[in-house]
Amino acid sequence: MKLLVAIYVAIVSLVLFDVGLIQADTHTPAEPDSVKIFPPKITALKDTPNDAGTSIDILWELSPSESLFPGAIIEYQIFRASSPESTFERVGAVPAGVSKFSDGGTEPGKPYWYKVVAVGDSQQAASEIAGPGKSVMQWFDRRRKGVLVFVILICTLIAVFIEVAKAKKGKMFLRHLPVFDAIDEAIGRATEMGKKVLYIMGQSDVDDPQTVASMSILARVAEKTAAYGTKLDVPCVWPMAMSMARETVKESFLRAGKPDAYKEDDIYYLTSDQFGYVAGVDGVMMRDRPAANFYLGAFYAESLIFAETGYTTGAIQIAGTAMVDQLPFFVVACDYTLIGEELYAAGASLSGDPIQIGSIRGQDIAKAIFFFYIIAGVVLKLAGINWLETLLRLD
C-alpha cells in the first residue's frame, strides 16, 4: 500500500511539472532569386509538443513553382545551424507538396536557425534564414492523460482487491467453471487406462501471463497425477518456462506426498522453433497416445494440429488460451475450452490463492466500469455531450 502512495505522489508531481511552452517565430518573406524555381517561405518554427524536447517543427509556404511548373520541384531539403552565420547542415528532406518537417535532432533549450531549399532537377532555391527556434523539454505527455487515468484506475482496483482478498484469506466468491470437474475426470481416465497425461504450456515464455496462469493449472494437474501415480509429460518451448514448470511440478509432487516420484526429465525442453515443436509433440501423441491432453497457455497456428491429432488418438482434451485467433479450433475440437480471461480465472480458482482471486475480482469491477462507461458514453453522445469521448482521445 505504501508503494501505491509513492506511485500516486510521483504521478501527481508529474502532472504539476507539466509546463509545456510553445515558442513561435515568424519571419519576413524572401525575394525570389531564381527564374524558374522560387524559394519556399518559412512561416513558423515551433517546438514539437509533448516530446522529449529534441524536436522543432518547421512550417513553410510551398514554393510558387509547385503550381507554376508542376513537377519542377523534386523535394525540399531542410538545413539547420546553431547561429545565422555558421554553416548550415542538412537535417532532412521531404517530398514536393509537403510543407512541414520535424527536426528531431535538437538539444533542448538551444537556439537554432533554419532554411528550407526547394530542389529541382538542375537548380534550387533557398528560403531566407529563419530563427531562432527552440525545443522545450516536457515533463508530462498531455495527450496521454486519459491513458493515465485508466492506468491508475485499473491498477488501484486490482491492488485494493488483492489486499481485500488477502484479508479475507481468499474467501471470495468466484463463479464455478465446469472445466474444474473436467480436469479431474480426464486425469482419472488416464489413470484407469494406464496412459500418460500430456500438458502443453503454449508457445510463450514466462513473461506471458498466460504461461503463468497455465502454471497454476499445471500445479493442480501435477498434484493429481502424483496422487494417482499417472505419468506426466511436459514438453517445453523455452528453457525458462521449462525451469519454472520443473519447480512447479516438483512442489506439487511434494504437496501430494510423493517427492520421490518426481522425475525431472518428464519436463523437458524440445525446441524453440514453432513447427519443430509441433512435430515433436505430434510425435509424442502418435507414439505414446496420452489419454488426456491439456493445452493451456498461449497458442498459435499449432493449436489445430494438436487438437485434431489429439482427437484422433481419442484423448480427452482440455484447452484454454487468450490467443483469440486460436479459440475457434479449440472450441470445435476439444471437450472443454477456457475462453480468454477464463484461463486466468481458472488459474485463480484452482490455486485458491487470495492474490489471484483478488485480481480477478478487481478485473471484474474494472469490466463493470467499462460496461457503464460505454452505456454512459452512448447516452451522452446521443444527448450531444462528448466529454467521455474527449477523455479517451489520444491525439
Partner 1 sequence: MRLQIPLAIILVMGIFTLVTAFIPAKPIADVNQLLRNWYIGIITFFIFLGTFNLARVNINKIKRRRRDWGYSFILLGCLALMLFLGFYKGRASTEEGQPFMYLYFNVQFPLGATMYSLLAFFVTSASFRAFRARNKEALCLLLAAVIIMLGRVPVGTAIWKGFPSVTEWIMNYPNAAAKRGISLGIDLGLISMALRMILGIERSYMQ
Partner 2 sequence: MSVIEKLSKLDRRYVFLAVAIAVSLPMFFPLGLPVEVTAPVKQLYDVIEELPERSVVLISIDYDPSGAPELQPATLAILRHCFKRNLRVLVLGMWAPGVPLGMKALDEVAVKEFNKKYGVDYVNFGYRPGGAIFLVNLGRDVHDVCRTDVYGTPVDELPMMRDVHSAKDIALVVTMSMGVPGSDQWIFYYQARYRGKLATAQTAIGAPRYYPYLQTGQLVGLIGGMKGAAEYERLVKTRGFASIGMDSQSAAHMLIIGLVVLGNFIFWMEKRKK
Partner 3 sequence: MLMTSGPWVWVAALLTLAIYSFLYKDNPFYKVAEYIFVGISAGYWAIFLWWNYAYPNLFEPLGKGKYMNIIPVVLGLMMFTQLFRRTAWLVRFPLTFVLGVSLGLQIVAAVEGDMVPQLRGTFSPFTPGALFGTYDFWTSVGYIALLVGVLTTLIYFFFSKEHKGILGVGARIGIYFLMIAFGASFGYTVMARISLLFGRLHFLFVDWMHVIK
The values of phi and psi at residue 218, to 5°, are -60, -40
Residue 376, CB half-sphere, CA atoms under 13 Å: how many?
9
Alpha-carbon gap, residue 258 to 229, rounded angstroms: 9
User: Which region, judged by CB under 8 A, interacts with partner 2, from 95-103, 249-257, 258-266, 282-290?
Assistant: 95-103
Residue 91 in grid coordinates: 537535417
Should residue 62 be labelled a site residue for partner 2 when binding is judged by CB under 8 A?
A: no
For partner 2, the binding residue among 160, 261, 301, 365 (CB under 8 A) is: 301
Should residue 248 be labelled a site residue for partner 1 when binding is judged by CB under 8 A?
A: yes
For partner 1, the binding residue among 69, 180, 228, 269 (CB under 8 A) is: 269
Should residue 154 be labelled a site residue for partner 2 when binding is judged by CB under 8 A?
A: no
Contact 214, 296 (CB under 8 A): yes
Should residue 288 be labelled a site residue for partner 3 when binding is judged by CB under 8 A?
A: no
In the bound complex, what is the minimum distance in angstroms from residue 154's beta carbon to partner 1?
Answer: 6
- 103 strand-pairing partners: 56
Should residue 21 be labelled a site residue for partner 1 when binding is judged by CB under 8 A?
A: no
Should residue 275 be labelled a site residue for partner 1 when binding is judged by CB under 8 A?
A: yes
Which does residue 162 touch among partner 3, partner 1, partner 2, none (CB within 5 to 8 A, set by kind)?
partner 1
Alpha-carbon gap, residue 308 to 338, rounded angstroms: 17
Should residue 246 be labelled a site residue for partner 3 when binding is judged by CB under 8 A?
A: no
Please, which of residues 376-395 interact with partner 1 by CB under 8 A? Answer: none
- 197 strand-pairing partners: 232, 292
In the bound complex, what is the minimum distance in angstroms from residue 150's beta carbon to partner 1?
Answer: 10
The values of phi and psi at residue 344, to 5°, are -65, -40
Q: Which is nearer to partner 3, 74 or 164 (CB)?
A: 164
Nearest to 16 by CA among 139, 197, 99: 139
Nearest to 64 by CA among 101, 114, 30, 113: 30
Which does residue 299 touch among partner 1, partner 2, partner 3, none (CB within 5 to 8 A, set by kind)?
none
Contacts with partner 2, residue ranges (CB under 8 A):
55, 74-75, 90, 92-98, 102, 104-105, 204, 274-275, 298, 300-301, 312, 324-325, 394-395
Contacts with partner 3, residue ranges (CB under 8 A):
144, 146-147, 150-151, 154-155, 172-175, 206-207, 239-240, 243, 271-273, 275-276, 279-280, 282-283, 286-287, 304, 324-325, 327-329, 331-332, 339-342, 345, 360-361, 364-365, 367-368, 370-371, 373-375, 377-378, 381-384, 388-389, 392-394
